[in-house]
Amino acid sequence: MAREGRVPPEQRGERSPERATRGDRRGTRSGNGGGGGGTRRPSPPSLAVWQAKVEAVPAEELPGLIRELEADPRSGARALAARARRRWERWRQARERWAELAAAQDALVPGGRVAGVDEVGRGCLAGPVVAAAVILSGDACLPGLDDSKRLKPAARDGLAAAVRRQALAWAVGIATPAEIDALNIWHATRLAMRRALDALPVPPQRVVVDGRSPGDLGYPVEAVVDGDARFAAIAAASVVAKVFRDAWMARLDRVYPVYGFARHKGYATAEHRQALALYGPCPEHRRSFLPVRQAEGAPPRDVPESDEPAPGAAGGRRKRRPAVEAP
């Protein structure tokens, strides 16, 4: 009898064990077909997506994001987790710092209206001296607030906007270069402070100022050494005044571009002194200041000017017509 030949499994409509095993493995990976399909685990977000989240998510939501990143086995995700943790730590410290500033102020006048006042521009050779007065609301929350000199420009701009939104009242007052020359810088600074306080729509119960006492401001005054680093309202006033004056000097720079006002803000830098030596003072310089007087004695050159008008004198605050028009 003839021996019956073996028929390969493929010809019988079956899969060979080897092919079946390979198919099962493919099914396990893909989750479809192969007789042994499993559930596919979702892929983690790309590192680019993680990075965008680390930069954009609100600080108070960072702990949850950090946990997700630390569960991702990729080294890049772990590095982003470390970056997010550093950002969280900075935010936490800023919150604690804000709590300290607010507590110090509340201890002075519990639940009362305290106006913080600070000035900027006293030592400049050009431009006005600017003072701001700020009364913070009881529910204000300004993490990162500090003395304006310790903050980067972008942080100052953001905080100044937050102060204006959250303040119970704020105002800005200025004293012009002509007033500085007529009164001297000390009395002109006090004038700017009084103008800021007078422009507040809500009268303060007490005023706190940074440094030495400016004298009579029309309200009970307490001078605090390093006040802009210790009291919330003074720190807020320092930020508002600095941002306002920087914008003012940037506009003056467009009127008198040869002096570089946008860069040095009128301070006696080498660049500013060199421009004074070359062109002499412009109408915005303080002629009672020695470097300006010395430059005025030298033969001046023609000072190029643009057609843009110089900033006008006025003040600004919330819920009232500004007394100083921002540039």
Is there a binding annotation on residue 118? yes
Res 300: pLDDT: 45
Q: Summarize pLDDT for 306-327 with one digit per residue, the tens.
A: 555 556 533 333 333 333 433 3
Question: 3-class DSSP state for residue 180?
Answer: helix
**pLDDT for 279 beyond 50:** yes
Q: What is the mean pLDDT of residues 118-139?
A: 93
**pLDDT for 5 beyond 70:** no
Question: Regarding predicted confidence, which is higher, 253 or 29?
Answer: 253
Q: d(Cα 248, Cα 128) in Å, to the nearest integer?
A: 9
Sign of torsion over alpha carbons 188, 194, 198, 200: positive
Of 32-46, 71-85, 267-281, the range with the highest mean pLDDT is 267-281
Q: d(Cα 112, Cα 219) in Å, to the nearest integer?
A: 14
Q: How far is CA 257 from the centre of its chain?
A: 26
Q: How confident is residue 155, by pLDDT bands cut at 50, 70 and 90?
A: confident
**Domains of the chain as residue ranges with CATH:** 47-105 (no CATH), 109-297 (3.30.420.10)
What is the residue-averaged pLDDT of the chain? 79
Is there a binding annotation on residue 157? no
Res 28: pLDDT: 46
Kindly provide the b/e burial profile for residues 190-223, where b requires at least 16 CB atoms within 10 angstroms of the residue's own CB.
bbbbbbbbebbeeebeebbbbeeebeebebebee
Is there a binding annotation on residue 119? yes
**pLDDT for 161 beyond 80:** yes
Poorest-pLDDT segment among 181-185, 224-228, 240-244: 224-228
